[in-house]
Amino acid sequence: MKTIRQQLTRKLILTLGLLIAAASLAVYGCARTALLAQFDAALRAKAQAITLLTEQKGGRLKLENSSEDMRGFEAGGRDYFQLWQSEAVPAEHSRSLQDAQLPLRHGARDAALVWNLTLPNGQTGRAAGLRFRPPQSPDRRSPRPPADAFLVVASECRDLNHTLLTLQLVLAGGGLLLLAATILLVPRVLRHELAPLRQLADEAARIDASSLSARFPIAGMPGELLPITARLNELLARLEDSFERERCFSSDVAHEFRTPVAELRSMAELAIKLPDARAADADHETLAIALQLESMLLNLLALARGEQGQLPVKLQPVALAPLVREVCDRFKPNAAARQLTFNCRADPAAQVDTDPGLLRSILTNLVENAVDYAPRGSVVDVDACVHDQRLSVCVANPVENLTASDLPHLFERFWRKDAARSADGHTGLGLALARVFAQSLGCQLSAHLATPTRLAVTLAPITSTPSNEPPE
Report how far residue 433's alpha carbon sits from residue 296's, in angstroms, rounded to the nearest whole number.
Answer: 11
Q: How many CA atoms lie within 13 A of 55 on its CB side?
A: 13
Q: Write down the pLDDT at residue 211.
A: 81
Q: Where is pLDDT greater, at 285 or 38?
A: 38
Q: Write down the pLDDT at residue 469.
A: 42
43 in Cβ contact with 126 (< 8 Å): yes
Length of the chain: 472
Q: Write down the pLDDT at residue 114.
A: 94
Residue 97 DSSP one-character state? G
Architecture of the structural domain at 226-306: Orthogonal Bundle (1.10)
Q: Write down the pLDDT at residue 249.
A: 67
Q: What percent of the chain has pLDDT over 90?
A: 30
Q: Write down the pLDDT at residue 262.
A: 84
Tens digit of pLDDT for each residue in 100-122? 999 999 988 888 999 999 998 88
Tens digit of pLDDT for each residue in 262-306? 888 888 887 888 777 777 777 778 887 787 777 777 767 776 776
The answer on pLDDT for 418 being more than 50 is yes
Mean pLDDT of the chain: 84
Q: Write down the pLDDT at residue 239.
A: 87
Name the residue ranges covered by the structural domains of the chain.
4-164, 226-306, 311-461
Q: Where is pLDDT greater, at 258 or 317?
A: 317
What CATH number was assigned to the domain covering residues 311-461? Answer: 3.30.565.10
Tens digit of pLDDT for each residue in 149-206? 999 999 999 999 999 999 999 999 999 999 999 999 999 998 888 888 888 888 888 8
The answer on pLDDT for 390 being more than 90 is no
The b/e string for 272-298 (b: 16+ C-beta within 10 A; e otherwise) is eeeeeeeeeeeeeeeeebeebbeebee
What topology is assigned to 4-164 in CATH?
Beta-Lactamase (3.30.450)
pTM: 0.53
Tens digit of pLDDT for each residue in 73-94? 888 888 999 999 888 889 888 8
Q: How far is CA 208 from CA 77, 200, 203, in A?
A: 88, 15, 11
Which of the four pLDDT bands, split at 50, 70 and 90, describes residue 68? Answer: low
Q: Residue 470 in 3-state DSSP?
A: coil
Report how far residue 66's alpha carbon sits from residue 53's, in angstroms, rounded to the nearest whole number.
Answer: 9
